[in-house]
Chains A and B, each alone.
Chain A
Amino acid sequence: MDAARGAERLATARSEVHRACELLIASSPEALNNCQEVLERAVNALKEFRSFSQEVPPEPGTRPLALTLKKEVLRARRLIESLAAFYKGWERILGTMSGGYTSNGAPAAVTRQGRLCCRG
Chain B
Amino acid sequence: MSSITSTLLTAAGAMDAYSQALEVVQNNVANASTPDYAAQTQSFNALQFDPTRGYSGGVAAGQIVSSRDEYAEQAVQQQTTLLGQAQQDVNSLTAMQSQFNITGSTGISAAFNSLFSAFSAWGQTPDSAVAQQNVIQQATAVASAFQQTATGLETVAQNTDQQLQSTVAGINQMATQLAGYNQQIMSGDRNDAGLDAQIHSTLDQLSNDGSISATQQPDGTWTVVLNGQTPLVVQNQVYALSTGTGAPGANAANPNAPPHLSLLAADGADITADTTSGQLGSLLNTANNVLPSYLGDSNQPGSLNTLAQAFASNVNNLLTGGYQSSGPPPVAGVPLFTYDTDNPTNVAQTLQVSSTITPAQLAAISPGPPEVSNGVPLALSQLADPTSANDEIGGLSYIQYYASMASNVGTLLDNANSNLQTQQSAVTQAQNVRQQISGVSLDDEAVLLIQFQQAYEASSKLINVLDQLTEDTMNMLPTTT
Contacts and interface: CB of A to CB of B under 8 A. Distances in A.
Question: Is B a genuine binding partner of A?
Answer: yes
B105 to A, nearest CB: 24
Contacts of A110: 446, 449
Contacts of B469: 43, 46-47, 50
A36 B435 CA distance: 23
Contacts of B462: 36, 39-40, 43
Given A26-B432, A80-B460, A112 B470 contact: no
B343 interface: no
B449 A58 contact: no
Given A43-B469, A80-B460, A75 B422 contact: yes
A90 B448 CA distance: 11
Interface stretch (B107-115, B254-262, B436-444): B436-444
B456 A39 contact: no
Nearest to B82: A82
Contacts of B251: none
A40 to B, nearest CB: 6
A39 B459 contact: yes
B481 A77 contact: no
Nearest to B453: A87
B149 to A, nearest CB: 29
A46 B71 contact: no
Contacts of A58: 476-478
Contacts, number: 151
Contacts of A90: 71, 445, 449
A83 interface: yes
A27 B446 contact: no
Contacts of A77: 463, 467
B456 A87 contact: yes
A85 to B, nearest CB: 8
Contacts of B471: 70
B429 interface: yes
A1 interface: no
Contact of A119 (B444, B456, B474): B444
A91 B422 contact: no
SS class, residues of chain B in contact with chain A: helix
Interface residues of A, number: 61
B466 A46 contact: yes
A71 interface: yes
B451 interface: yes
Contacts of B460: 80, 84
B412 interface: no
B50 interface: no
Given A50-B472, A63-B481, A87-B456, A117 B444 contact: yes
A15 interface: no
Contacts of A50: 469, 472-473, 476
A112 B436 CA distance: 22
Contact of B429 (A25, A60, A71, A91): A25
Most buried by B among A53, A62, A69, A90: A90
Interface string B297-325: 00000000000000000000000000000
Given A32-B455, A63-B481, A87 B449 contact: yes
Contacts of B480: 60
Interface of A: 10, 13, 17, 20-21, 24-30, 32-33, 35-36, 39-40, 42-43, 46-47, 49-50, 53, 57-58, 60-63, 66-67, 69-71, 73-80, 82-84, 86-87, 89-91, 93-94, 97-98, 110, 112, 115, 117, 119
Given A24-B459, A78-B425, A84-B456, 10 more contacts: A32-B452, A35-B455, A43-B469, A50-B473, A69-B473, A73-B463, A80-B460, A82-B429, A89-B75, A90-B445
6 contacts: A39-B463, A43-B465, A75-B421, A79-B426, A91-B449, A110-B446
Question: Shortest 4 CB-CB distances between A and B: which pairs?
Answer: A29-B451, A32-B455, A39-B462, A60-B481
